[in-house]
Amino acid sequence: MTRFFWVRHGPTHAKAMIGWTDLSADLADTAAISRLRGHLPRSALTISSDLIRATATADVLCPGRRLPHDPGLREIHFGAWEQRTFAEVEAENPALIRAFWDQPGQVRAPGGEGWDNLTQRVWAATDRLAAAHPGEDIIVVAHFGAILAALQRALNIPAIEVFAHKIDNLSVTELRLTGQGWHAGLINHRP
């Protein structure tokens, strides 16, 4: 069994759509970081998205057995919607942004990704990790969308249903890969 501990990076405090924009994480909540560090397996390998909010969070949580950062674990790319609020985009193109959230799949932001693109990218990165490190514990420091994509596969549910799950900053979602496939354990756990 390979266990994945998906950790959402520290908060950015952004009030807009932030996908591939490289914002720093606020890692001042040392008590929350300490509790999370205590919950994670000490001998686990650690990998993160290559965006600074994920790499910095991984650095404070797991300075030990690090794997190279993986851009396949990035957040969804919002394209022209990056750093814009939902209200701003809705004022310009209400049908497109509603379809993006209400019918996740192939609908994409202009110049960005759709949900199907994100899941394919995240699932491929996860499959590479599982193949390279079978039977290991792996801490993955990533983003809201990437964690939901991994959770969607483990729960075997449609995207619209996985959107109902909350994934807080500095939370952990535990997924296992066994001979019988993917399984979910704790979701959005805040130690």
Q: What is the CATH number of the domain that holds 172?
A: 3.40.50.1240
Q: Considering the entire predicted model, what is its pTM? A: 0.96
Which pLDDT score is estimated for 174?
98
- The whole-number pLDDT of residue 170 equals 98
Evaluate whether residue 191 is within a structural domain: no
Helix, strand, coil shares, percent, the chain, to 5: 40, 15, 45
Write down the pLDDT at residue 24. 96
CA 27 to chain centre: 17
Residue 161 lies in a domain: yes
Distance (Å, whole) CA 7 – CA 58: 9
Report pLDDT for 185: 97
- Kindly give the confidence (pLDDT) of every residue in the chain, 191 residues in length, as a single tens digit, with 9 standing for 90 and above: 999 999 999 999 999 999 999 999 999 999 999 999 999 999 999 999 999 999 999 999 987 789 999 999 999 999 999 999 999 999 999 999 999 999 999 999 999 999 999 999 999 999 999 999 999 999 999 999 999 999 999 999 999 999 999 999 999 999 999 999 999 999 999 99
Q: CA torsion sign, 45 to 2 to 174 to 105?
A: positive
What's the total number of domains in the chain?
1
Q: Does 122 map to a domain?
A: yes
| In-domain check, residue 189 | no
